[in-house]
Structure 1
Amino acid sequence: MQNLVIYNTLHRQKERFQPIAAPNVGMYVCGPTVYGDPHLGHARPSITFDILFRYLQHIGYKVRYVRNITDVGHLEHDADDGDDKIAKKARLEQLEPMEIAQYYTNRYHDAMRALNVLPPSIEPHATGHIIEQEELVKEILANGYAYESNGSIYFDVEKYNKDHRYGVLSGRNLTDTIDNSRELAGVSEKKSQADFALWKRAMPEHIMRWPSPWSDGFPGWHCECTAMGRKYLGSHFDIHGGGMDLVFPHHECEIAQAVASQGDEMVKYWMHNNMITINGQKMGKSLNNFITLEQFFTGNQETLDQAYSPMTIRFFILSAHYRGTVDFSNEALQAAQKGYERLMNGIDDLSRIQPSSESDAETGRFVAAFRQKCYDAMNDDLMTPAVISSLFEACHVINLLIDHKAQISAANLKELHDAMHLFAFDILGLMNERGGNNDAREEAYGKVVDMVLDLRAKAKAEKNWAVSDQIRDALADAGFQVKDTKDGVTWKLDR
């Protein structure tokens, strides 16, 4: 089994991954709040933890991957005024809240399928786990770390901080947290500005409400992940992930809730992906600077120069390490598109290579080291940019082989083929969007053109430029566009 090292946000260092119950891994990732179309900011955590899910399974672990749907109780971070975003949108559009939640859940799933993000093992909804959240609140109350105020229940952060430490994940101290809190509606119910809602009494106009021992109301945002994580993964599990913007307050509050309810922390490794930014500013709905994934796929947005395919988006995100910032620009996406096409061309060109009796020394050394080099990159905190770099090196070798400037044995060719498919498709989760010529006529065209291009490559290797140009021009006359690029030869049929 591979020796995977991941960055633990809690300890602020890379650590060797050692599951609590090997070979079983429990992984919980904060999913979307379903009150609007999924945007590029949603794509990054989904793809990041899809890579982790894929890789853990590949190296031999049995993974239970839980990714929640937030469809109630999502308050504005420290604003415990009961303004649930889904309920608010339902009032504006005169729909049932669950209509809003279901519609945008479906939209999210459609976008994830387009991005080739695998579905999780379990996808619980917050509204389906109200009882578990109420039980969590009862436990925290019984242990003395919460109090009732006007039918709402608040977590007593100051009391908790005396016995434990509030701020272990974010590195904040309680004094700074209180000083930086804003005066907000409903804060008078709380003992301290740092306290957060575990249960909110619903106002008469509030349309999402459930009965509880304290009031008709709804759970606070932070309760759902603690309650559902424990229900499906147990009181101790391996990985909790999400965007870096969730470190405080959401994940900090989750840690406090777990310790206050059961006496110790639930999670062994905390992992966080960094943000996608536009002009250095976080992309998100709250800042109204987001671009939806559908707009990327169609190009129907004023800041976009063109449409970008789902695999271009996935390649763009994987081209940076998950803990690094990615700044959106058309130039960056166009570079990702070229990189993705270069990789797909290289993989397609594997079928054009005729093996020799043996590999030349340099090609043999490259193939022998290629697979482990990719594993080493993945084992180093999921270093996907290094995997892509190695795949590009393989594309360079493929170009040399096609141009007859190198030779490869049948065994080495199979190993190169298998390793490239493993890391590009199975682990990085890319797909060849060209679809592989399912039409029989196009498949026949492809075989003929590849054969002719192979003859042209031999002519070029022999410096027979006249024959090389003649083949290119003849293909052009027949309706085939042939381009010589630094990454190899590409062709397509004009329709």
Structure 2
Amino acid sequence: MALYKTNTLKVYNSLSGEKEVFTPIHEGKIGMYVCGPTVYNYVHLGNCRTFISFDLIFRYLKHLGYQVRYVRNITDVGHIVDDADSGEDKIAKKARLEQIEPMEVAQKYTVNFHNILKQFNNLPPSIEPTATGHIIEQIHIIEEIIANGYAYEINGSVYFDIERFNKDYQYGELSGRKIEDMLANTRELDGQSDKRNPLDFALWKKAEPEHIMRWPSPWGDGFPGWHLECTAMSTKYLGKQFDIHGGGMDLKFPHHECEIAQNEACTGNKPVNYWMHANMLTLNGKKMAKSTGNNILPEELFSGQNDILSKAFSPAVVRFFILQAHYRSILDFSDDAILASEKGFNRLMEAIHTLDELPLSDTSSIEVNEWRQKCYDAMNDDFNSPILIAHLFEAVKNINTIKEGKASITKADLETLKNTLHEFTFDVLGLSQQTEQQNNNEKLENVVDLLINMRNEARANKNFSLSDEIRDKLLAIGIQLKDGKEGTTFQL
């Protein structure tokens, strides 16, 4: 019998502001959509926290026996900054700076995104659609919204009519904002003069001659608004109404608010039963930001090549650190905090490794089944990973007391203990056991990558003697560099 039949799962719904008993639309099946990255730069640690949080949720739902269709998009359309209304196209800007095609930018950073999440041991989603692959669907939704009277076209752009929409529905219900307050706080921006109302957001934007990423539409050449892609892709693969929609807390308004409005304007339905939002990650007590330098990339964490931390940390330790906080709470990343997590991670792994060495007895002095239920109770309470981890450390304590001969366990209870620890540590939390050999291999790869970067810099400066020296000395110790169109790779 599937575990979901005997477990009552409660989920915090951002729409109601309360924990609710989770009941899927179709028994045994779940549709879940999570907003993916805009691929114009390297994925940062704050983004990774969101995706690790929803990987935990995905894993636990699967563990309970649900059939989960997990859809997570890739935003590869060059949207404009400031809610797709004004500013400069992020992907086109990056393409201009790097002197490559916009889709090269999208491909480069999509590959980076996948590589980082693979190192964090994230499961891939069931479907990973791209915004550029769903332009036709987005145009169709705009046509439906216009036909229903909730949008208007002007000068080749299409805007969502908030005031008209609010006569029939309620814009702002997810974020708890009132239209009157929003209007009072809205300032006129360049490019908003075509709008009937400052709050109206773009469904389709006319492409100016310099705009690279553009598509034909009934309103002329242009590109879709930022909010529209998620409406199109979520409903295409999960239906007009589905179970879970997730993303970072920063997306609640305006992105998710606009998604709800678009769906209601198009179909008359509320699209999602449970809205879930992961909270932010801070660094040394301050918001992470590239502009201030208070920022760290996952690769810098794994390699130790940064000015913030005292050493390198493995992806498994970083994942463990992230899951030690509840997904809805703010988490502060610091050297002391991650060092403490590493100690805890190592203690957990050492205890799991000693399970087979424990002496057996005819009686058990510990309540294994009661402990197992507490692990489920923690996850059933809105995926409370820090409470689950506390229970895992309760097991670590028991393992150590059994090893010291101060407690006893039967063969059957040991089997239950072992299975539960493995299920929750590796299957649900998604932690991976890193051997010393794996750690050494990662360190070697990081050192070689560093030397490749030094060699590239030497070649750029026409210092070919240093470039050749790096190549030849690596070859002398059995590491061959290969230069190709995609850059330099190495072979051991």
Q: What's the TM-score once normalised by structure 2's chain length?
A: 0.86
Instruction: Tell me what 1:220 maps to.
Output: 225
In the TM superposition, what is the alpha-carbon distance from 1:284 to its structure 2 partner? 4.7
- Taking the aligned partners of 1:275 and 1:432, their CA distance within structure 2 comes to 27
1:433-492 residue CA offsets vs partner (Å, 9 max, x unmatched): 127999xxxxxxxxxxxxxxxxxxxxxxxxxxxxxxxxxxxxxxxxxxxxxxxxxxxxxx
2:351 paired with 1:346: yes
Instruction: Determine the structure 2 residue equivalent to 1:30.
Output: 35
Question: Is the Cα–Cα contact under 8 Å of residues 275 and 326 in structure 1 kept in the other structure?
Answer: yes
Instruction: Tell me how large the CA RMSD over aligned residues is.
Output: 1.6
1:307-348 CA distances to partner (integer Å, 9 max, x unpaired)?
111011111110001100001111111111111111111111
Counterpart-to-counterpart distance in 1, 2:86 and 2:119 = 37
Contact 1:41 1:284 in 2 (8 A): no
Query: Is 1:244–1:273's contact at 8 Å kept on the other side of the alignment?
Result: yes
Q: 2:426 aligned with 1:425, yes or no?
A: yes
Question: Aligned-pair distance for 1:168?
Answer: 0.5
Match of 1:313 among 296, 318, 324: 318
Task: Find the residue that maps to 2:26 and give its secondary structure.
Answer: coil
How far off is 1:356 after superposition? 2.1
Residue 147 of structure 1 is aligned with which of 141, 144, 152? Answer: 152
Q: CA deviation at 1:199?
A: 0.4
Instruction: Report if the CA contact (8 A) 1:167-1:174 is conserved.
Output: yes
Q: CA deviation at 1:184?
A: 2.0
1:135 to 130, 140, 146: 140
Unaligned segments of structure 2, at least 5 residues: 440-492
In structure 2, the partner of 1:332 is 337
Would the aligned equivalents of 1:377 and 1:387 in 2 still touch at CA under 8 Å? yes
Please list the CA deviations of residues 250-309 of structure 1 after superposition, one character each: whole Å capped at 9, or x if unmatched.
000000000011112111110001100124443255776331111111111212221111
Q: What residue identity is the alignment partner of 1:400?
A: T
Conserved in 2, the CA contact under 8 Å of 1:72 and 1:84?
A: no
Deviation for aligned residue 1:54: 0.8
SS state at 1:66 partner = strand
Cα gap change, 1:156 to 1:420, in 2 (>3 Å) = same
Whether the aligned pair in 2 keeps the contact of 1:73 and 1:221 (CA below 8 Å) is no
* Deviation, structure 1 residue 401: 1.2
Q: 1:328 to 1:171 in 2, by over 3 A?
A: same
For residue 304 of structure 2, what is the aligned residue in structure 1? Answer: 299
| Whole-Å separation in 2 of the counterparts to 1:103 and 1:382 | 33
1:387-410 per-position Cα deviation (integer Å, ceiling 9, x unaligned): 100000100011111111112111
Whether contact under 8 Å (2:207, 2:221) holds in the other structure is: yes
1:275 corresponding residue in structure 2: 280
Q: Which digits, 9 at most, give the CA deviation of each residue in 1:222-244, with x for residues without a partner?
A: 00000000100010100000000
Distance 1:197-1:121 versus aligned 2 partners, 3 A rule: same
Following TM superposition, the consecutive aligned residue runs of length 4 or more in structure 1 with deviations greater than 6 angstroms are 435-438
| 2:32–2:244 Cα contact (<8 Å) kept | yes
State which of 103, 111, 128 in structure 1 corresponds to 2:108.
Answer: 103
Secondary structure of the 1:128 match is helix
Assess if the C-alpha contact under 8 Å between 1:276 and 1:325 holds in 2. Answer: yes
Three-state SS of the structure 1 residue aligned to 2:83 is coil
Alignment partner, residue 238 of structure 2: 233
1:150-209 superposed Cα distances (whole Å, 9 cap, x missing partner): 111111111111221110100001122222233322011211211111001111111100
Is residue 166 of structure 1 aligned with residue 167 of structure 2?
no
Hey, what does 1:406 align to over in structure 2? 407
Alignment check: 8 A CA contact 2:84 2:226 kept: no
Shift of 1:411: 1.2
Contact 2:242/2:271, CA 8 A, preserved across alignment: yes
Q: Which amino acid aligns with 1:390?
A: H
Instruction: Report the structure number with the largest CA radius of gyration.
Output: 1
Q: How many Å separate the matches in 1 of 2:15 and 2:77?
A: 27
Corresponding residue pairs, total: 434
SS in 2 for 1:188: coil
Q: CA deviation at 1:147?
A: 0.9
Counterpart of 2:379, as a letter, is M
Asked whether the equivalents of residues 49 and 322 of structure 2 are also in contact (C-alpha less than 8 Å), the reply is yes
Q: CA deviation at 1:82?
A: 6.0
1:44-123 alignment, distance < 5 Å: 44-78=49-83, 80-81=85-86, 83-123=88-128
- Tell me, yes or no, if the aligned pair for 2:78 and 2:92 is still in contact at 8 Å: no
SS of residue matched to 1:47? helix
One-letter amino acid matched to 1:103: K
What whole-Å deviation, never above 9, does each CA across 1:368-398 have from its counterpart, x for those lacking one?
Answer: 2121110000000001001100000100011
Whole-Å Cα distance in 2 between the matches of residues 289 and 197 of structure 1? 32
CA contact (8 A) 2:32 2:242 kept: yes
1:371 aligned partner, one-letter code: R
- The SS at the match of 2:55 is helix
Distance 1:78 1:287, change over 3 A: farther
Within the candidate set 250, 253, 256, 2:255 is matched to 250
Aligned to 2:186: 181
SS at match of 1:43: helix
> How far has the Cα of 1:77 moved from its partner?
3.9
**1:370 corresponds to:** 371
**Structure 2: distance between partners of 1:369 and 1:113:** 34
Aligned position for 2:455: none
Aligned to 1:415: 416
Q: In structure 1, what is the Cα distance between the partners aligned to 2:227 and 2:265? A: 13
Equivalent in the alignment of 2:487: none
Tell me the residue number matched to 1:3: 8
Question: 1: CA distance between counterparts of 2:250 and 2:266?
Answer: 25
* 1:461 match: none
Whole-angstrom distance in 2 between the partners of 1:351 and 1:12: 45
- Alignment match, 2:266: 261
Letter in 2 for 1:433: Q
Q: Which moved more, 1:182-191 or 1:164-173?
A: 182-191
* Separation in structure 2 between the aligned mates of residue 87 and residue 411 of structure 1, nearest angstrom: 61
Cα 1:74/1:285, change in 2 over 3 Å: farther
- Any stretches of 5+ residues in structure 1 without a counterpart? 439-495
